[in-house]
Amino acid sequence: MADRPIIGLVGLGLVGSALAERFAAAGFDVVGYDIDATKADALRAGGARSTASPAEVARQARRVVLSLPDSAVVERVVEGPGGLMEAAEAGDTIIDTTTGDPVRSAALAARLRERGVAFLDAAIVGSSAHVREGDVIVLVGGNEEAIAGCDGLFAAFARRTFRMGPSGKGAEAKLVANLVLGLNRLVLAEGLVLGRKAGIDPDALLAVLREGATYSRVMDAKGEKMIRGEFSPQARLQQHLKDVDLILDLGRRTGTPLVATALHAQLLRAAVAAGFGGQDNSAIIRVLERMAGLPERERKEEGG
């Protein structure tokens, strides 16, 4: 184990656990931490090591990947008690895959730069299932030299890495990508609901949509889940609402009207209020089905 490159990982949820698997398969010695002890147990069961705190991760690894819920948690993990900066050394690199606030991300990068630690906002476009398949892209903002030093790390789980510019630009680009992805899901859901109301066979309709000019990759990942009512999470709906709020903030900051996204936010809030927040983001269709007066179907609620 000593001659294997060590990678730290903080946050072992849907994406974090998928990253751990990819890093281990690529030959990294993974040392991780999660506040949930059961997730740490799962990490050890997969052959990696777990620690008692983020600081302990930083003591063992010169590069640490974060996969966390939001920017507030990132700041606590990095700068709070028992955080990474208690043990980080000059020359270390923190790679944040969290979909976070670009302004806070850039500010954190500036603070860490003063201490000789590089901070990259390295947002992943794709779900945990896509991470496991190595079928994601990474949008990175930050120091060019630090990014280059992580090429092998990104290659362990992504098919392509895009350098988006200085700190914060990776996070901004991810929000734009999530805007488009989220609206693709919403449009697909609305089309499937209309087809169901019209009495069109849903399997036949999805096949048509996937074969014509209407096609998007969202149909591959989410179409069957919507039709079958199978909402075990690849990416949780409540997390996408958090992302959409950040997208709307970016729109306000740049003076960009985001009319469709504002409507999407209302529908996502309705979904969370109805108890669908922990389900896959494809569960947005449930709100539209209710609005259309469609009866509830028997559903698999794994993970929801």
Residue 194: the pLDDT is 98
Residue 1: the pLDDT is 43
The DSSP letter of residue 300 is B
- Is the CB of residue 142 less than 8 Å from the CB of residue 115? no
Terminal CA-CA length for the chain: 38
Residue 298: the pLDDT is 65
The DSSP letter of residue 48 is -
In this structure, is the dihedral angle defined by the CA atoms of residues 262, 268, 272 and 273, taken in order, positive or negative? positive
CATH number of 173-291: 1.10.1040.10
Q: Answer whether residue 300 shows pLDDT above 70.
A: no
Residue 190 burial (C-beta neighbours within 10 Å; 0-12, 13-18, 19+): middle
Distance CA 208, CA 215 (A): 9
How confident is the prediction for the chain on average, in pLDDT? 94
Distance CA 188, CA 284 (A): 10
Strand order from edge to edge, sheet including 29-33: 49-50, 29-33, 6-10, 63-66, 93-96, 118-125, 137-141, 160-165
Domains 6-167 and 173-291 share a fold: no
Q: Answer whether residue 271 shows pLDDT above 60.
A: yes
Residue 46: the pLDDT is 79
Q: Answer whether residue 19 shows pLDDT above 50.
A: yes
pLDDT per residue as tens digits for the range 46-90: 788 999 999 999 999 999 999 999 999 999 999 999 999 999 999
The residue ranges of every structural domain in the chain are 6-167, 173-291
Residue 202: the pLDDT is 97
pLDDT per residue as tens digits for the range 163-210: 999 999 999 999 999 999 999 999 999 999 999 999 999 999 999 999
- Scan for tokens 């030093």, then name that residue: 149
Tell me which architecture the domain covering 6-167 has in CATH. Answer: 3-Layer(aba) Sandwich (3.40)
Residue 91: the pLDDT is 96
pLDDT per residue as tens digits for the range 197-245: 999 999 999 999 999 999 999 999 999 999 999 999 999 999 999 999 9
Residue 299: the pLDDT is 58
